[in-house]
Amino acid sequence: SLTGSPVTLKILQNWVPRVSHYFDKEHYTYVGHQIVIQESIEHFGAVVWPGALALSQYLESNQEQFNLKDKKVLEIGAGTGLLSIVACILGAHVTATDLPEVLENLSYNISRNTKNLNMRKPEVRKLVWGESLNEDFPVSTYHYDFILATDVVYHHGALDPLLATMVHFCKPGTVLLWANKFRFSTDYEFLEKVCNIFNTTILAEFPESNVKLLKATVRKN
């Protein structure tokens, strides 16, 4: 079951579309930094979706509630890397993960936007949901304070592996922050599964964008 009364928010138009020969670069401003994101039309994961904007905005506005400074943060389905870049600017030690075919664009965006920051650069790693989790990210070695996930639930067949991935990384003390555009019945079915496994709270809703932002933690036995 869901707890908490969410705040109602609007995704602020804090990006400036620029005229570009390629029409592939979006300019955003978060935490006082201009972030330039190269998108790719070839992959779902290479476009900035509203959940990433919503969670980036929320983390910027709620730094006291969710202080990322020196925290270990894992983003699953990092896509273009916008959220991982924002988390890095907020002082987190970030690992950004996605499918192999997305990593080149992801790495490019992250290195380009963090190269002049006096902070630890995000690490970029391959992560296929539900595959080789114990080998690539053994629980004994990898413990994260925060798991970030945005718009990871849409029409695809990998929802069970996604849930398994969330369960693998969400240990006692870990906070999962998940922002998603809710469009289909499958989105709500996935939400129900998350609520059955974790203590789940809706932190915020962005009605114009159909985005909900949820916080989930492991249930105490």
Position 14 confidence tier, pLDDT thresholds 50, 70, 90: low
Residue 98 lies in a domain: yes
The predicted model gives 3-29 an average pLDDT of 67
Tell whether the model's pLDDT for residue 19 goes beyond 80: no
Tell whether the model's pLDDT for residue 7 goes beyond 90: no
Residue 172 lies in a domain: yes
Residue 57 lies in a domain: yes
pTM: 0.90
- % the chain with pLDDT above 90: 73
Which residues form the domain of 155? Answer: 44-218
The DSSP-derived string for 115-171 is TTSSSPPPEEEE--TTSSHHHHS-TTT---SEEEEES--SS-S-HHHHHHHHHHH--
Tell whether the model's pLDDT for residue 142 goes beyond 80: yes
Q: Which residues contact 108 (CB under 8 A, 6 or more apart)?
A: 38
Give the pLDDT of residue 41.
Answer: 66
Position 13 confidence tier, pLDDT thresholds 50, 70, 90: low
In this structure, what CATH number is given to the domain that contains residue 104?
3.40.50.150
- The separation between CA 115 and the C-alpha centre of its own chain, rounded to angstroms, equals 21
Q: Into how many domains does the chain fold?
A: 1
Residue 4 lies in a domain: no
User: Comparing 15-19, 152-156, 162-166, 176-180, which segment has the lowest mean pLDDT?
Assistant: 15-19
Average pLDDT over all residues of the chain: 90
Residue 111 lies in a domain: yes
Residue 6 lies in a domain: no
Residue 128 lies in a domain: yes
Give dist(CA 183, CA 89) in Å, integer: 31
Residue 35 lies in a domain: no
